[in-house]
């Protein structure tokens, strides 16, 4: 199963929290990116993010001068971050629940990369082989059940044991056909 660490963009373009929006625009244009990570000030642990949408909606659309506005004025707090071990499905759910399109990937206090909805769409097959994952889980659960029922020969109920192993075999056959195991 793909994790955030497998599809995140590792090269992160960051800007100091003391920079202006004009500097952020120039940096975005130079690196051809749609967001920048705001580096946390000395002694603080939180990262921030500024996106092109923040700039357009909160600076340009209201007629503010990007040379006079600091990036720290646009940082959304708290900054929603992603852990590198989140699954792609969990990350998609986080994006949907928070209404965001990108997040810094943080492990402890270390910035590892950035993940975006574009990464989810462009670096996966879209369906993430959820059926194969579901089948693998069903095989695992059926095996546990069969082992519980058939584990102790003295308490073994032969009919239930046989049915349990039939279920395991059926899930294994289906999983093999779908490439899950």
Give residue-wise pLDDT tens across range 11-21: 999 999 899 99
Residue 79: the pLDDT is: 83
Kindly report, residue by residue over 55-83, the tens digit of the pLDDT. Answer: 999 999 999 999 999 998 998 777 889 99
Residue 75: the pLDDT is: 85
Residues in the chain with pLDDT values less than 70: 41-45, 126-139, 141-143, 145-147, 149, 151-165, 167-168, 171, 174-181
DSSP SS3 for 151: coil
* Integer Cα distance of 13 and 32 in angstroms: 10
* Integer Cα distance of 15 and 178 in angstroms: 46
| pTM metric for this prediction | 0.65
- Are 89 and 31 a contacting pair, CB within 8 Å? no
Burial status of residue 163 (CB atoms within 10 A of its CB: 0-12, 13-18, 19 or more):
middle
**4-122: what CATH class?**
alpha beta
Nearest to 17, CA basis, from 9, 43, 8, 31: 43
């Amino acid at each position: 199963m793909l994790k955030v660490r497998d599809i995140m963009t590792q090269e992160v373009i960051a800007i100091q929290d003391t920079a202006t929006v004009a500097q952020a625009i120039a940096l975005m244009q130079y690196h051809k990116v749609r967001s920048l990570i705001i580096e946390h000030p000395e002694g603080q642990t939180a990262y921030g993010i500024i996106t092109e949408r923040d700039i357009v909606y909160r600076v340009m659309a209201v007629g503010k001068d990007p040379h006079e506005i600091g990036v720290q004025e646009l940082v959304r707090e708290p900054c929603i971050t992603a852990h590198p071990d989140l699954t792609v499905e969990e990350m998609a759910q986080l994006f949907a629940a928070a209404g965001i399109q990108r997040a810094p990937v943080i492990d402890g206090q270390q910035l590892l990369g950035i993940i975006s909805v574009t990464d989810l769409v462009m670096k996966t097959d879209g369906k993430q082989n959820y059926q194969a994952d579901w089948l693998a889980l069903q095989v695992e659960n059926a095996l546990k059940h069969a082992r519980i029922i058939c584990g102790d020969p003295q308490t073994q109920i032969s009919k239930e044991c046989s049915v349990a192993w039939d279920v395991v075999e059926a899930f294994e056959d289906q999983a093999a056909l779908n490439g899950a195991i």
